[in-house]
């Protein structure tokens, strides 16, 4: 088993990052322009990194799948971004944000990384305000805050229900400034299809121009992957349709370890699945749990009437409602973390109290908030979310409670990175949702934007300098090197193979089958038999894919079916690794709920003695078992305990 070196600096937790910054090497301004960096992705992670690296003077090439960098999936983020400013004067602090995040992740993340995240959170807000991000303000003129799950303070900065969009406009403006200066060049509609290594170091990529089909080679001194998460392995998720796991999967196959693949987040407040023709699920932001109360009827007769449509939720009197989160978790109530709220919804629905025709929904109700705060205030806070709900469901949430159900939303797993955000391949960095770094077994709400921007604005720009300081005299990487030709030929062969299968099933239909397997056996509840079954079924689906796929059209044109086919091929392999990791982790923690490991009350039961580690999987070749490497997690500043959101 390889020994992973997480490069965590010595010294007290609160001074590790300052000390590290002082210790690492830097590149002088006169040398930065000689160095080239490739950034994959223009979401909040990639755009903030590209803008910051360009501003430092590096030569940056940034790639995205969409027609504009601004259409990255980050734009969908609704509810907000955390920071420990303590503007609400409610006793927040860097330590408290650190503590909440470690506890929220069920003690499966690194102390040093999480502390640094909390530490730089405040800089992010200053940076974004300076860029003109229109955060909501209160009457005193300070930026306003609301609460998200897993904390007892209000530390979430927001711009109505469009926080991701506003933050991305800020990062995109900063990037545009660098584009105008010539330090950043954007390649839209270019999909990375392979990572190129020369002498074991990341030296470039091969992309496919999504409009012409042309394969192109790009060389650099370092490569940064900010390609987002792999939640779409489940087919139905709240992620953008283009979100995929392919870029990180290519890196994995070239030697970057994949950490904690089974840690996927299920978000409790999504619009329930309706019918079997959907290809996307819609999130209703966690911010709604500030004022919305979650309940199901106490009486089965009411459930029956709801399902038949003879009554609506608003007709059920207060005394007959079970506000089950408030009942089970008095201290945190409706603001328990996502994994806890999701499981509680499933428990009520499994017990027969689900309120829609399929029995797979609970209510999110604003009646109390309308009465206490008034409709105008609620409208200002969540107006666009209410409109969105009505447009999709046809039900007016001002009159009737919303119906919600858990859905796949985020992946905590990703490429293994050390404290410098470098993967196990020298010169290859991973940031944002693409890495595994900070959220352990469960991410707290409003912490993904914080992590993506922390990585891109404040961490990577320092740590990558340490690596690049050794590359100043190294010439630009040569795209005529045989390693580029080899990667390109493999891609050509793969594309030809996919067209030549000439079977009967579309990539989408196979993806949908994968989604069913994943949700059934690697979803909210997992067990040994189910996970073994998932692995077998995925293997057989992979065979179907290789024998019966149909890809219409040609390669040398805009061909979304071909794009999908390549991504689904990777999702099949990612799904298998997720199931394998889940099978190996015989404990319940965060979103990973092994039915064999639960308390009498149905809560997660960790096994710290055997599983207090990051699982880091190493690719060993086609159809070979990957090797499990373990990074032990050491807690020196937090007393580990069973998570408690009751008191």
Quote the tokens at residue 637: 């500043």
> Is 464 an interacting residue with respect to ligand FAD (CB under 6 A)?
no
Task: Say if residues 78 and 72 touch (Cβ distance below 8 Å).
Answer: no
Binding span for ligand FAD by CB under 6 A among 88-96, 114-122, 226-234, 367-375? 226-234
Using only the alpha carbons of the chain, give its radius of gyration. Answer: 24
Cβ of residue 567: shortest distance to ligand FAD, in angstroms? 8
**Considering only residues 37, 44, 222, 531, which one is a binding residue for ligand FAD as defined by CB under 6 A?**
44
> Is 226 an interacting residue with respect to ligand FAD (CB under 6 A)?
yes
> Is 460 an interacting residue with respect to ligand FAD (CB under 6 A)?
no
Residues 395-434 that bind ligand FAD (CB under 6 A): 409-410, 432-434
Residues 244-263 that bind ligand FAD (CB under 6 A): 244, 246-247
116 Cβ partners below 8 Å, 6+ apart?
16, 17, 454, 459
Q: For residues 451 and 433, what is the distance between their CA atoms, to the nearest angstrom?
A: 8
Cβ contacts of 601-608, under 8 Å, gap ≥ 24:
602/343, 602/347, 603/340, 603/642, 603/643, 604/106, 604/339, 604/643, 606/106, 606/107, 606/642, 608/107, 608/640
CA distances to 179, 240, 411 from 72, in Å? 18, 8, 17
What does 425-460 look like in DSSP terms, one character per residue?
Answer: STTEEE-GGGB--S-TTSPPTT-HHHHHHIIIIIIH
β-sheet with 190-198: strand ranges across: 190-198, 201-209, 215-219
Cβ of residue 41: shortest distance to ligand FAD, in angstroms? 3
Residues 523-562 that bind ligand FAD (CB under 6 A): none
For ligand FAD, the closer CB: 66 or 637: 66
Reduce the DSSP state of residue 137 to 3 states and report it. strand
**Considering only residues 34, 41, 60, 577, which one is a binding residue for ligand FAD as defined by CB under 6 A?**
41
> Is 124 an interacting residue with respect to ligand FAD (CB under 6 A)?
no
- CA-wise closest residue to 184 among 316, 54, 34: 54
Cβ of residue 437: shortest distance to ligand FAD, in angstroms? 11
**Considering only residues 162, 227, 232, 342, which one is a binding residue for ligand FAD as defined by CB under 6 A?**
227
> Is 436 an interacting residue with respect to ligand FAD (CB under 6 A)?
no
Reduce the DSSP state of residue 373 to 3 states and report it. helix
CA distances to 306, 380, 422, 628 from 60, in Å? 57, 40, 18, 34
Task: Say if residues 415 and 436 touch (Cβ distance below 8 Å).
Answer: yes
> Is 615 an interacting residue with respect to ligand FAD (CB under 6 A)?
no
Q: For residues 591 and 106, what is the distance between their CA atoms, to the nearest angstrom?
A: 9
**Considering only residues 81, 325, 349, 408, which one is a binding residue for ligand FAD as defined by CB under 6 A?**
81
Residues 326-355 that bind ligand FAD (CB under 6 A): none
| Residues listed for the chain | 647
> Is 438 an interacting residue with respect to ligand FAD (CB under 6 A)?
no
For ligand FAD, the closer CB: 33 or 253: 253
**Considering only residues 86, 447, 463, 629, which one is a binding residue for ligand FAD as defined by CB under 6 A?**
447
Cβ of residue 245: shortest distance to ligand FAD, in angstroms? 8
User: Is 338 tagged catalytic?
Assistant: yes
142 Cβ partners below 8 Å, 6+ apart?
87
For ligand FAD, the closer CB: 408 or 580: 408
Closest residue by beta carbon to ligand FAD:
43
Cβ of residue 591: shortest distance to ligand FAD, in angstroms? 14
Q: For residues 321 and 329, what is the distance between their CA atoms, to the nearest angstrom?
A: 16
CA distances to 101, 132, 456 from 451, in Å? 11, 20, 8
> Is 42 an interacting residue with respect to ligand FAD (CB under 6 A)?
yes
For ligand FAD, the closer CB: 73 or 155: 73
Cβ of residue 322: shortest distance to ligand FAD, in angstroms? 28
Is the Cα torsion angle 48, 49, 54, 56 positive or negative in sign?
Answer: positive
Cβ of residue 64: shortest distance to ligand FAD, in angstroms? 4
**Considering only residues 74, 165, 423, 442, which one is a binding residue for ligand FAD as defined by CB under 6 A?**
74
**Considering only residues 13, 60, 64, 355, which one is a binding residue for ligand FAD as defined by CB under 6 A?**
64
Other beta carbons less than 10 A from residue 100's beta carbon: 25
For ligand FAD, the closer CB: 515 or 530: 515
> Is 192 an interacting residue with respect to ligand FAD (CB under 6 A)?
yes
Cβ of residue 530: shortest distance to ligand FAD, in angstroms? 26
Binding span for ligand FAD by CB under 6 A among 73-81, 292-300, 527-535, 550-558? 73-81
> Is 149 an interacting residue with respect to ligand FAD (CB under 6 A)?
no
**Considering only residues 17, 63, 366, 645, which one is a binding residue for ligand FAD as defined by CB under 6 A?**
63
Q: What is the DSSP letter of 585?
A: -
β-sheet with 184-187: strand ranges across: 184-187, 59-63, 36-40, 222-225, 428-430
> Is 78 an interacting residue with respect to ligand FAD (CB under 6 A)?
yes
Binding span for ligand FAD by CB under 6 A among 321-329, 448-456, 460-468, 554-562? 448-456
For ligand FAD, the closer CB: 247 or 517: 247
Is the backbone of residue 314 left (phi > 0), alpha (psi -120 to 50) or beta? alpha
**Considering only residues 114, 449, 578, 579, which one is a binding residue for ligand FAD as defined by CB under 6 A?**
449
Cβ of residue 621: shortest distance to ligand FAD, in angstroms? 22
For ligand FAD, the closer CB: 122 or 544: 122
Cβ of residue 264: shortest distance to ligand FAD, in angstroms? 12
Burial class (CB in 10 A: 0-12, 13-18, 19+), 123: middle
For ligand FAD, the closer CB: 410 or 611: 410
Of 70, 338, 443, 643, catalytic:
338
> Is 210 an interacting residue with respect to ligand FAD (CB under 6 A)?
no
Quote the tokens at residue 266: 């299920």
> Is 46 an interacting residue with respect to ligand FAD (CB under 6 A)?
yes
The residue with tokens 């999967």 is: 249
Q: For residues 587 and 581, what is the distance between their CA atoms, to the nearest angstrom?
A: 11
Q: For residues 47 and 312, what is the distance between their CA atoms, to the nearest angstrom?
A: 45
> Is 151 an interacting residue with respect to ligand FAD (CB under 6 A)?
no
**Considering only residues 94, 215, 448, 464, which one is a binding residue for ligand FAD as defined by CB under 6 A?**
448
- CA-wise closest residue to 365 among 321, 400, 326, 325: 400
Residues 278-307 that bind ligand FAD (CB under 6 A): 283
> Which positions lie near ligand FAD, rule CB under 6 A?
40-46, 63-66, 72-74, 76-81, 163-164, 191-192, 226-228, 238-239, 243-244, 246-247, 283, 409-410, 432-434, 446-449, 452
Give catalytic residues, as residue numbers.
338
């Amino acid at each position: 088993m390889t020994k992973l070196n997480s490069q965590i600096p010595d010294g007290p937790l609160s001074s590790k990052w300052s000390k590290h910054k002082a210790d690492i090497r830097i590149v002088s301004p006169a040398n930065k322009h000689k160095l080239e960096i490739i950034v994959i992705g223009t979401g909040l992670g990639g755009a903030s990194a590209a803008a910051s690296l360009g501003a430092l003077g590096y030569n940056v090439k940034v790639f995205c799948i969409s027609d504009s960098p601004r259409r990255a999936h980050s734009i969908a983020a609704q509810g907000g971004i955390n920071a420990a400013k303590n503007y609400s004067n409610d006793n927040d602090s860097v330590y408290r944000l650190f503590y909440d995040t470690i506890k929220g992740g069920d003690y499966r993340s690194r102390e040093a990384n999480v502390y640094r995240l909390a530490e730089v959170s405040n800089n992010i807000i200053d940076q974004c305000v300076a860029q003109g991000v229109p955060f909501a303000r209160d009457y005193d003129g300070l930026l306003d805050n609301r609460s998200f799950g897993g904390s007892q303070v209000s530390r979430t900065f927001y711009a109505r229900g469009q926080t991701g969009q506003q933050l991305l406009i800020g990062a995109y403006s900063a990037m545009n400034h660098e584009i105008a200066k010539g330090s950043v060049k954007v390649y839209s509609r270019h999909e990375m299809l392979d990572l190129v290594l020369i002498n074991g170091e990341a030296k470039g990529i091969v992309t496919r121009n999504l409009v012409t089909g042309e394969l192109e080679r790009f060389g650099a001194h370092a490569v940064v992957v900010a390609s987002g998460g792999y939640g779409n392995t489940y087919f139905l998720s709240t992620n953008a349709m283009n979100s995929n796991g392919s870029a990180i999967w290519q890196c994995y196959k070239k030697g970057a370890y994949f950490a904690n693949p089974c840690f996927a987040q299920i978000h409790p407040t999504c619009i329930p699945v309706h019918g079997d023709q959907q290809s996307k699920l819609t999130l209703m932001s966690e911010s709604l749990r500030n004022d919305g109360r979650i309940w199901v009827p106490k009486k089965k007769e009411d459930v029956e009437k709801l399902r038949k449509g003879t009554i609506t939720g608003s007709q059920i009197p207060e005394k007959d409602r079970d506000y089950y989160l408030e009942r089970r978790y008095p201290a945190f109530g409706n603001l328990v973390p996502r994994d806890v709220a999701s499981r509680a919804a499933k428990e009520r629905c499994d017990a027969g109290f689900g309120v829609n025709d399929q029995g797979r929904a609970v209510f999110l109700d604003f009646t109390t908030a309308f009465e206490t705060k008034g409709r105008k205030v609620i409208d200002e806070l969540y107006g666009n979310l209410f409109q969105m709900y009505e447009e999709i469901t046809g039900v007016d949430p001002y009159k009737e409670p919303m119906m919600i159900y858990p859905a796949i939303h985020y992946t905590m797993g990703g490429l293994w990175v050390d404290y410098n955000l470098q993967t196990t391949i020298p010169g290859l960095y991973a940031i944002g949702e693409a890495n595994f770094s900070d959220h352990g077994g469960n991410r707290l709400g409003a912490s993904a934007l914080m992590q993506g921007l922390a990585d891109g604005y404040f961490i990577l720009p320092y740590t990558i300098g340490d690596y690049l300081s050794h590359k100043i005299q190294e010439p630009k990487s040569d795209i005529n090197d045989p390693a580029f030709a080899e990667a390109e030929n493999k891609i050509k062969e793969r594309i030809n193979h996919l067209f030549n299968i000439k079977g009967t099933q579309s990539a989408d239909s196979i993806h949908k089958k994968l989604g069913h397997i994943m949700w059934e056996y690697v979803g909210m509840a997992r067990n040994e038999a189910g996970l073994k079954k998932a692995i077998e079924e995925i293997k057989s689906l992979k065979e179907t894919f290789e024998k019966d796929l149909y890809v219409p059209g040609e390669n040398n044109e805009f061909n979304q079916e071909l794009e999908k086919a390549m991504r689904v091929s990777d999702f099949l392999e990612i799904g298998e690794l997720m199931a394998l990791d889940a099978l190996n982790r015989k404990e319940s923690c965060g979103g990973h709920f092994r039915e064999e490991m639960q308390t009498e009350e149905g809560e997660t039961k960790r096994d710290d003695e055997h599983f207090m580690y990051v699982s880091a999987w190493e690719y060993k070749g086609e159809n070979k078992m990957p090797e499990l490497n373990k990074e032990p997690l050491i807690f020196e500043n937090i007393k580990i305990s069973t998570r408690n959101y009751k008191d």
